Amino acid sequence: MIRHPARLWKVSGEKISCGVCARRCMIAKGGRGFCGVRENTDGVLYANSYGLLTAANLDPIEKKPLYHFLPGKTTFSVSGFGCNFTCKHCQNYTLSQTTSIPAEYVPPEAVVQEAILLGAKSISFTYNEPTISFEYVYDTAKLAKEQGLTSAFITNGYLSKEALLELAPFLGAIRIDLKGFTDEFYKTVCGARLKPVLDTILLSKELGLHLELVTLVIPGYNDSVDEIDAMLDWVMTNLGPAVPHHFTAFMPMYHMQDVPRTPFSTLDRIYRQAKAHGLYYPYVGNMPHADGSKTICPECGAVLIDRDGFAEHTRGVEDGHCTTCGRKIEGVFSHEDL
């Protein structure tokens, strides 16, 4: 265990108020926050998971998924453990739903050096929820920027405003899970609330971060026509049509193994709903779809990028513009765009 002083906390009576995530846990002496890795020791808050990595891999950026952020490039993905959600369907539950797992201490300097050595164009904080490793993410992303790399924050969106404001100058992209569009879904399936996630999405947009959304579509839980319509209405009203939104297929996992896989018909319907609402860049994930993996020019309809799994084939975008009609395509297509 690495005893590293935490950031964003204050003493409140005989407890510590943690200000990193939307839970704002009140932690008694000797206790830990909801995430299990932030501990009050004699009136001082420590981040006990600082630098403890459970995974480090070179990935295509499309795996995050990020389709408009340095497409075709690789990212160095790093993961810790623990989470501030308790999702019943968690795809990475062996990392997220535990605080007792083999992990290796890797300082920020080593992560950045390895990313450069491997030729990655970015570092992604991913697999488990990186918010709870705020101090490590901050230090690593700051150092990465100094060394000419950018960073991507792959999150459930449950970080505090203060945390995002501190991180934002060192991030190139944020990919947020919009897991559903009812508070009831968030409470019963994720152990959280919807509004803090929406607040993070809005702030990310306001701060000018490259933003992409992901919704894992779970049959019978968050896939109704009405709920998807409400979600798309909110996105169009608050974010506009240009934020890429990935709708991905659910596979039975963790405590939801009795729920069937998402059928193709549902994802195809949602893709068409998104197009009908005016979204420029809806995508379908975890399942083959004729158009759902393509980036299509909103102006002329030309296929800009075609994808086969995580491999992308650039056909019609150059310097961030459609080569057919010249339209500027929203996204980060080179470091000069950052």
Q: How confident is the model at residue 251 (pLDDT cuts 50, 70, 90)?
A: very high
pLDDT surpasses 90 at 46: yes
Instruction: Please identify which residue in the block is written with the tokens 């300097």.
Output: 109
pLDDT, average across residues 16-44: 97
Q: Per-residue pLDDT for 2 more than 80?
A: no
Confidence of residue 81 (pLDDT cuts 50, 70, 90): very high
* Residue 266 binned pLDDT confidence (cut-offs 50, 70, 90): very high
How far apart CA 196 and CA 173 sit, in angstroms, is 19
Percent of the chain with pLDDT over 90: 93
Find the radius of gyration of the CA atoms of the chain.
20
Q: What is the mean predicted confidence (pLDDT) over 129-144? A: 98
Q: Which phi and psi (to 5°) does residue 257 adopt?
A: -80, -10
pLDDT exceeds cutoff 80 at 34: yes
> What pLDDT, in 10s, does the model give residues 289-335?
999 999 999 999 999 999 987 777 778 999 999 999 999 999 999 88
Q: What is the mean pLDDT of the chain?
A: 96
Q: pLDDT digit string (tens) for 101-115?
A: 899 999 999 999 999
> Model confidence over 204-237: pLDDT tens digits?
999 999 999 999 999 999 999 999 999 999 999 9
Contact 129, 123 (CB under 8 A): no
* Residue 100 confidence class, pLDDT cut points 50, 70, 90: confident
Judge whether 313 and 305 are in contact, CB under 8 Å.
yes
Q: Residue 1 — very low, low, confident or very high, per pLDDT cuts 50/70/90?
A: low
84 Cβ partners below 8 Å, 6+ apart?
21, 22, 23, 34, 35, 129, 131, 132, 156, 158, 192
So what's the pLDDT on residue 336? 78
Per-residue pLDDT, 315: 81
Say what the pLDDT of residue 99 is. 85
Does the structure show a pLDDT above 80 at 180?
yes
What is the model's pLDDT at position 3?
A: 81
CA distance 279 to 232: 8
Closest by CA position to 106, among listed 50, 148, 144, 57: 50
pLDDT of residue 249: 98
54-80 pLDDT tens trace: 999 999 999 999 999 999 999 999 999
216 near 89, Cβ under 8 Å?
Answer: yes
Mean pLDDT of 270-276: 98
